[in-house]
Amino acid sequence: MGIKRANILNPFWKVLYWYISHLDKKGEIIFLNYGYAGEENLHLNREDEQNRYPLQLYYHVANSIELKGLDVLEVGCGRGGGTSYVARYLAPKSIKGTDICRKAIDFCKEKYSYDNLSFCAGDALNLPCEDENVDVVINIESSHRYPSMKKFLSEVYRVLKPGGHFLFADLRYKESIKTLRNQFKNSSLKLIKEEFITGNVIKALQLDHDRRIALIERLAPKFLHKFVKEFAGTKETDLYKAFLKGEKEYLNYILQKA
C-alpha cells in the first residue's frame, strides 16, 4: 500500500522536523532531502562527501543556471546544508536561507559563517523579502507541505526581479502533477523546463540507505525509528515503495519571471 495522503499534511511531521534539531546535538543532520544519483563526478570537499547524494540534488537544481554574482533566496532551507553548499561552491553574490522552523534557523546561524550567506525565519506564504529583490528563488522538497501553493507562487513572483528564475524540485502524487502544472501556469511564471527525476531519487535512496539507517539508529530513540525512517525515505517505507510503484513522482522545474 502506498503512503497515505493524510501523512503528507499530518502535523506529526512538523513535530518530528522540530525534534530532529533536538536529537542531533552534534549537528550531523544538515540535509533533509531524498538525494539525487547521477552527478557522481561532482567534486566535493572531503567534509562534504558524506552528504554526497543530498548535495547532488542541490547541484542538479541550483546549477541549472549560472548563480555567480547573483542574489539568491532559498525558501525552506531547513538545517542549511544546501544553502551553505550554494554559498561555498556556486559563488552567488548573496544567498539567504529562510525557514518557518525557528530552531532550524538558530542552528544555521550558529553553524555557518560565510560573507555571502545569511539566514532568517520566515513563512513561505509571506516571504521576508522586498519586492523584486532577488535574482533566483530556490525551493527544494518543501512545497508539498505548504497550505497554499497559489499563495507561495505569488510570493515567489513578487520577490523575483524581472528576468529572475525560480528553481524548484519536489514530490507529488502522480495524479496531482496536472494541478501543479496549472498552478505554475496561473502564477504568471514562464515554464522553461520540466524534468521527472524520480529514478535518480530512487537510486540515491538506495545508495544512501545504510548511512540514513545508521544515523537513525544512533540518534533516535527506538520507539521513533519507524516514523523517522518514513521521514527519511528508507527502503522499507511506504514513501519509498510509492516512488517505486509510480504512485509518487519527483519533479524538477525551471521557471522565469518575464
Quote the Cα angle for 52-85-80, to 5°.
Answer: 100
- What's the CA gap between 170 and 255, in Å, rounded? 14
DSSP 23-74: H-TT------S----S-TT----GGGGGGHHHHHHHHHHHTTS--TT-EEEE
State the pairing for strand pair 160-173/248-256: antiparallel
- What's the CA gap between 118 and 125, in Å, rounded? 20
State the pLDDT at residue 219.
Answer: 87
Angle of helix 198-207 relative to helix 238-245, nearest 10 degrees? 140
Quote the Cα angle for 137-102-92, to 5°.
Answer: 30
Architecture of the domain delimited by 5-256: 3-Layer(aba) Sandwich (3.40)
pLDDT tens for the chain, 258 residues long, are: 233 333 333 555 566 666 666 677 678 889 999 999 998 899 999 999 999 999 999 999 999 999 999 999 999 999 999 999 999 999 999 999 999 989 899 999 999 999 999 999 999 999 999 999 999 999 999 999 999 999 999 999 999 999 999 999 999 999 999 999 999 999 999 999 999 999 999 999 999 999 999 999 998 889 889 988 998 999 999 999 999 999 999 999 999 999
- What's the CA gap between 240 and 148, in Å, rounded? 25
Region label for 161, one of left (φ > 0), alpha (ψ between -120 and 50) or beta (otherwise): beta
- H or E element that contains 168: strand 160-173
User: With b meaning 16 or more CB within 10 Å and e meaning fewer, what string describes 103-121?
Assistant: bbbebbeeebeeeebbbeb
Enter the C-alpha cell of residue 141. 522538497
* Domain parsing of the chain, residue ranges: 5-256
Enter the C-alpha cell of residue 237. 517505507
Torsion of CA 18, 21, 23, 25, to 10 degrees: -160
